[in-house]
């Protein structure tokens, strides 16, 4: 019964009109314009309340209004009747804890005029949600909550049999669609992006195997599911109930011809048809555009037949068929016209008059008939004749000026579909933007998204930009494709979420900077990804990771240290360890380099340091990783610039000074290969100083096997051993370089001409010989003298073995 979708729009609008115009019920202009998106029920209720309260309108008008539409009437009745029960289910539970009797007695199910108190409560709740949904000031989160609350209401009303299933279904559909527009949208202002930010924050440290997900549902086995079988049964039941009515075979023509007389058998279809018509044309007046015109022109011959159709009173089905190919013509009306001339002349309104604007002149007479024809049929439903008259008159009164007529349609269109219908200029703008962004994804070059994928996680390296790929790119800057895409974060959320109290004193710009540039959301790193350095790993686990995971145990003396210094020759995995700490402890990771604090904001460096620590404090547990810490915290001396000195001082103070509390779960991890240059005060604060030595043989082996496992190679176990032996003194980076060099061996052995034609399969595997020659070019980057220096420093200050 799809016509229900369109049904409320029409009735809403007409009721509204009628009351607004003929009953002198004054509604605020706001409701006049946006009001048609109000559920009819609340409008009705509003009106009824007014009519009860104000002497100028009669109660009767309210009643007749309500009765005019079964669906909305029972929906509205649901309001009143339900409120008693809902109180119990919802708000009531708490207040009524001690008084179950009162809660259990639901208000009697009656008409619309019952138990003013409970229904008023209910109405206000509904209104509250309604305003949350429509207001401009609410965040998308609040709107989503509002929609959910509405859907809950619908569910409860249905559960209490206060509204029919069909009604519940359609209301659900209506609200769910609007709701999903918010949830699925990645627009920072209007959408929630599927809560991706929250979710990915939670799932940050977990495995991501989404690329390997395989659906087990097939079109055949899905029918084995119990819920699906129920679905099919429900469908079947409907089908048979549909067939049941005796008048299923009544020929429609007669109905139509008789439709002027009230009290006839139900005839839903006609009204729906008219609805459709109205609706279609109304939506058109908004969504019209060059495209439509274009499509129309492609059907020129049909279009030209339109005028003739309007004039002909004897339309054959065949000719109406032509008409159909116009997207919005009054097609449904044409079958009626076959028998009912009056109706035909009214209903074959060329919809194009909205687009073209010159066709507006149809007679008062016809529109009047249209009015009497259409609601008349609806009326046969509810056998309320005066209602139909009033509608007619209202329609008629709106006729003289064509612009009101348009408005009428517009108002009706507004009700059901979020992005269509009449809007204020502002809303129109918004609609346009919506449209634009809805269209965007398909236009954007596919390749810019890394293949055809629109996925979030699967198979993508989650680099700094790859946090979350929305299904549709945002409007700004997406012409150039994905890569520039910033992880959609602080900038947009800042406006919608309250900022932490502690951040108030700090310049928002700096906070944003820290969020964007310094906070790192790299790919998850596991301890297994780091070869060797078992001692350092064990120590870090003990003093860093565990305390972060179980703060309740690690208190007092067991409390974690505030700072760690990782030192050792370059290329041994210090940075990787820093990342791993953040990842495994579930902490927020700030990665800073001296340059990000010094060079950019001369004189503001220390403020930046302070901002950094403050943000970190708000994000506890946090790890601040400073690579090449020696450049930031070198010995303070005489010949030093004032600003760099101030930065150092601020850093030291923040690290462990008067303002820091022992409760803070902030860890500073510094990495350096020049430990001897670090200021002694800083050294003191970096309590644990761990030496990250060159990889041992086993670690080097691990590196080689791991790197080679991704390549096409033919190394035997012994050969690997030889490589490992020969690479003594190599750092991790040197090992990688060695493997790189070796992997180029097969290419070098090709003749230079071949390179253009050869297929990838023909490149020979990497062999031991390649490594052999690679050893000739790759030398260890750390000298034994350097090593000695580290060893000595480790002896003096280190806390390793």
Partner 1 sequence: MSPANPELLLRELGGWDGALCRRELPCVLPRLISMYQNSDDWTEHIRVLRILTEMFLPHINLSELEQTFFSKVLPKAIQLFDDLLYELSSQAKGLTSQNIELCKTVRNVLQTMVQLLETLTGCVRHICTLQEPVPLESIRTLPSSILYVIKNTFMHCKDSESLYSGCLHLISDLLQSLFKETYSLQKQLMELLDMISMESAEDSIVDMVSVIHTVLEICSVISNMDHALHANTWKFIIKQSLKHYSLLQSHLKHKDILSGLCKDTLFSFHSCLQLAEQMKLSGTQESTDYKLFQRTVKLCKFFANSLVHYIKEFIPFLSDSCCRLHQLYLQIYSKFPPSLYAPVISEAHRDEIARVFLVALDPLIHQLLPFRPFLEQVLSEKLDLSPELHLPQCNLLVTIMDKLPFQPENVQALWTTGSQFSEEVPRLSLFSALFLGFQQCSGELSLPVCLPGVMDNGQAEVPATLYHHLCVHLCAFIASTPPSHFPQLERALLDAVLGSSMITSLLAMDSWCFLARYGTAELCAHHVFVIAHLIKSCPGECYQLSVLGVLLRRMLFLMAPDHQVEFTQKFPPKEAENLPLWQHISLKALTPDLRKQVAHQLCAVGLTQCRQWLSGRCTLGELPPVVREGVTLFIKSRAPK
Scored b (16 or more CB within 10 A) or e, 381-407 reads bbebeebbebbbbbbbebbeebeebbb
User: Which of residues 290, 357, 639, 760 is near partner 1 by CB under 8 A?
Assistant: 290
Smaller CB separation from partner 1, 226 or 426: 226
CB 536 within 8 A of CB 527: no
What is the footprint of partner 1 within residues 336-395 (CB under 8 A)?
338
CA gap 746, 675 in Å, rounded: 41
CB 32 within 8 A of CB 12: no
- Report the half-sphere exposure of 2 (CA within 13 A, side-chain side): 2
Smaller CB separation from partner 1, 53 or 290: 290
User: Which of residues 490, 540, 566, 713 is near partner 1 by CB under 8 A?
Assistant: 490
Stretch that binds partner 1, among 112-120, 313-321, 355-363, 394-402 (CB under 8 A): 313-321
Contacts with partner 1 by CB under 8 A: the residue count is: 153
What is the footprint of partner 1 within residues 593-622 (CB under 8 A)?
615, 618-619
Smaller CB separation from partner 1, 97 or 710: 97
User: Which of residues 189, 403, 497, 528 is near partner 1 by CB under 8 A?
Assistant: 497
Scored b (16 or more CB within 10 A) or e, 38-58 reads bbbbbbbbbbbbbbeeeeebe
What is the footprint of partner 1 within residues 690-729 (CB under 8 A)?
none
Total length of the chain: 801
What is the footprint of partner 1 within residues 99-138 (CB under 8 A)?
none
Of the candidates 229, 201, 160, 178, the one whose C-alpha atom is nearest the C-alpha of residue 39 is 178
Could you give the C-alpha distances from 93 to 90, 102, 115, in angstroms and in order? 6, 11, 20
CB 781 within 8 A of CB 731: yes
Residues 6+ apart with CB under 8 A from 605: 597, 598, 643, 644, 646, 647, 650
Three-class SS state of 779? coil
Smaller CB separation from partner 1, 580 or 652: 580
User: Which of residues 30, 443, 600, 748 is near partner 1 by CB under 8 A?
Assistant: 443
Closest distance between partner 1 and the C-beta of residue 430, in Å? 13
Smaller CB separation from partner 1, 272 or 672: 272
User: Which of residues 21, 114, 160, 169 is near partner 1 by CB under 8 A?
Assistant: 169
Smaller CB separation from partner 1, 290 or 603: 290
What is the footprint of partner 1 within residues 735-764 (CB under 8 A)?
none
Tokens found for residue 611: 């901002």
Smaller CB separation from partner 1, 446 or 755: 446
Smaller CB separation from partner 1, 18 or 377: 377
CA gap 60, 82 in Å, rounded: 23
User: Which of residues 59, 131, 213, 307 is near partner 1 by CB under 8 A?
Assistant: 213
Stretch that binds partner 1, among 40-48, 272-280, 540-548, 566-574 (CB under 8 A): 272-280
Residue with tokens 């519940």: 168
DSSP state of 487: P
CA gap 584, 263 in Å, rounded: 74
CA gap 338, 682 in Å, rounded: 94
What is the footprint of partner 1 within residues 533-592 (CB under 8 A)?
551-552
Smaller CB separation from partner 1, 440 or 649: 440
Closest distance between partner 1 and the C-beta of residue 628, in Å? 25
Q: Does 231 bind partner 1 (CB under 8 A)?
A: yes
Residues 6+ apart with CB under 8 A from 534: none
C-alpha 235, offset from chain centre: 32
What is the footprint of partner 1 within residues 386-425 (CB under 8 A)?
417, 419-420
Stretch that binds partner 1, among 111-119, 396-404, 470-478, 737-745 (CB under 8 A): 470-478
Stretch that binds partner 1, among 166-174, 640-648, 683-691, 726-734 (CB under 8 A): 166-174
Closest distance between partner 1 and the C-beta of residue 490, in Å? 5
Element (H, E) at 266: none
User: Which of residues 14, 36, 119, 170 is near partner 1 by CB under 8 A?
Assistant: 170
CA gap 250, 234 in Å, rounded: 26
What is the footprint of partner 1 within residues 32-91 (CB under 8 A)?
86, 89-91
Q: What are phi and psi of 115, to 5 degrees?
A: 25, 80
User: Which of residues 136, 501, 718, 761 is near partner 1 by CB under 8 A?
Assistant: 501
User: Which of residues 45, 50, 82, 284 is near partner 1 by CB under 8 A?
Assistant: 284
User: Which of residues 457, 532, 547, 605 is near partner 1 by CB under 8 A?
Assistant: 457
Q: Edge-to-edge, what's the strand order for the sheet holding 666-672?
A: 588-592, 622-627, 666-672, 563-567, 688-691
């Amino acid at each position: 019964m799809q016509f229900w979708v369109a049904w409320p729009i029409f009735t809403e609008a007409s009721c509204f009109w009628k009351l607004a115009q003929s009953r002198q019920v004054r509604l605020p202009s706001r409701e006049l314009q946006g009001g048609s998106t109000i559920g009819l029920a609340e409008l009705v209720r509003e009106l009824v309340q007014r009519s009860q309260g104000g002497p100028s309108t009669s109660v009767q008008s309210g009643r007749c209004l309500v009765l005019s539409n079964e669906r909305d009437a029972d929906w509205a009745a649901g309001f009143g009747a339900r409120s008693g029960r809902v109180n119990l289910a919802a708000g009531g539970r708490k207040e009524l804890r001690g008084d179950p009797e009162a809660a259990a007695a639901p208000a009697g199910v009656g008409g619309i005029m019952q138990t003013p108190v409970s229904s008023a409560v209910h109405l206000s709740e509904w209104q509250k949600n309604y305003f949350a949904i429509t207001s401009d000031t609410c965040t998308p989160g609040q709107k989503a909550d509002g929609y959910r609350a509405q859907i809950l209401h619908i569910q409860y009303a249905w559960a209490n049999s206060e509204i029919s299933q069909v009604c519940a279904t359609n209301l659900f559909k209506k609200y769910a669609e609007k709701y999903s527009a918010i949830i699925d949208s990645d627009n920072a202002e209007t959408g929630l992006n599927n809560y991706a930010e929250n979710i990915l924050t939670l799932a940050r440290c977990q495995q991501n195997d989404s690329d390997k997900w395989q659906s087990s549902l097939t079109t055949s086995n899905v029918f084995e599911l119990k819920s699906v079988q129920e679905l099919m049964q429900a469908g079947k039941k409907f089908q048979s109930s549909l067939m049941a009515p005796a008048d299923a075979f009544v020929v429609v023509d007669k109905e139509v011809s008789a439709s002027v007389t009230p009290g006839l058998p139900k005839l839903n279809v006609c009204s729906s048809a008219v609805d459709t018509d109205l609706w279609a044309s109304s939506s058109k007046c908004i969504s019209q555009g060059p495209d439509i015109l274009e499509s129309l022109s492609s059907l020129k011959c049909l279009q030209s037949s339109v005028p003739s159709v309007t004039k002909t009173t004897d339309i054959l089905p065949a000719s109406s068929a032509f008409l159909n190919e116009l997207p919005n013509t009054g097609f449904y009306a044409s079958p009626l016209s076959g028998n009912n001339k009056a109706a035909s002349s009214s209903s074959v309104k060329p919809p194009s008059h909205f687009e073209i604007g010159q066709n507006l002149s149809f007679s008062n007479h016809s529109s009047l008939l249209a009015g009497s024809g259409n609601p008349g049929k609806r009326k046969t439903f509810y056998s309320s004749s005066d209602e139909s008259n009033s509608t007619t008159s209202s329609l008629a009164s709106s006729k003289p000026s064509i612009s009101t007529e348009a408005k009428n349609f517009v108002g009706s269109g507004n009700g059901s579909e979020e992005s269509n219908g009449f809007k204020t200029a502002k809303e129109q703008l918004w609609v346009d933007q919506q449209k634009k962004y809805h269209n965007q994804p398909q236009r954007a070059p596919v390749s810019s998204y890394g293949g055809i994928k629109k996925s979030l996680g699967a198979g993508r390296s989650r680099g700094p930009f790859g946090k979350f790929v929305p299904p549709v790119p945002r409007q700004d800057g997406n012409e150039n494709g994905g890569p520039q895409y910033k992880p959609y974060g602080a900038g947009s959320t800042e406006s919608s979420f309250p900022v932490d109290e502690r951040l108030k004193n700090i310049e928002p710009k700096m906070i944003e900077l820290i969020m964007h540039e310094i906070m790192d959301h790299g790919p998850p790193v596991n301890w297994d990804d780091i070869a060797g350095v078992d001692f350092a790993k064990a120590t870090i686990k003990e003093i860093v990771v565990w305390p972060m995971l179980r703060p309740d145990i690690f208190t007092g003396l067991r409390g974690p240290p505030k700072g760690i210094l990782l030192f050792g020759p370059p290329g041994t995995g210090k940075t990787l360890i820093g990342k791993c700490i953040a990842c495994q402890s579930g902490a927020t990771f700030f990665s800073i380099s001296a340059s990000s604090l010094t060079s950019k904001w001369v004189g503001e460096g220390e403020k930046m340091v302070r901002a950094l620590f403050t943000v970190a404090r708000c994000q506890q547990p946090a790890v601040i990783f400073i690579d090449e810490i020696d450049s930031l915290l070198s010995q303070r001396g005489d010949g030093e610039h004032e600003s760099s000195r101030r930065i150092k001082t601020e850093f030291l103070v923040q690290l462990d000074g008067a303002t820091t509390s022992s409760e803070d779960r902030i860890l500073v991890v510094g990495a350096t290969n020049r430990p001897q240059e670090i200021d002694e005060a800083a050294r003191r604060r970096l309590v644990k100083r761990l030496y990250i030595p060159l990889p041992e043989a086993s670690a080097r082996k691990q590196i080689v096997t791991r790197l080679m496992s991704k390549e096409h190679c033919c190394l035997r176990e012994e050969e690997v051993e030889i490589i490992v032996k020969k690479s003594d003194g190599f750092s991790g980076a040197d090992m990688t370089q060695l493997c790189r060099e070796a992997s180029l061996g097969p290419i070098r052995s090709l003749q230079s001409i071949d390179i253009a034609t050869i297929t990838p399969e023909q490149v020979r595997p990497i062999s031991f010989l390649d490594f052999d020659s690679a050893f000739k070019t790759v030398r260890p980057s750390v000298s034994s003298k350097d090593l000695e220096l580290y060893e000595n420093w480790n002896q003096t200050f280190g806390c390793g073995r």
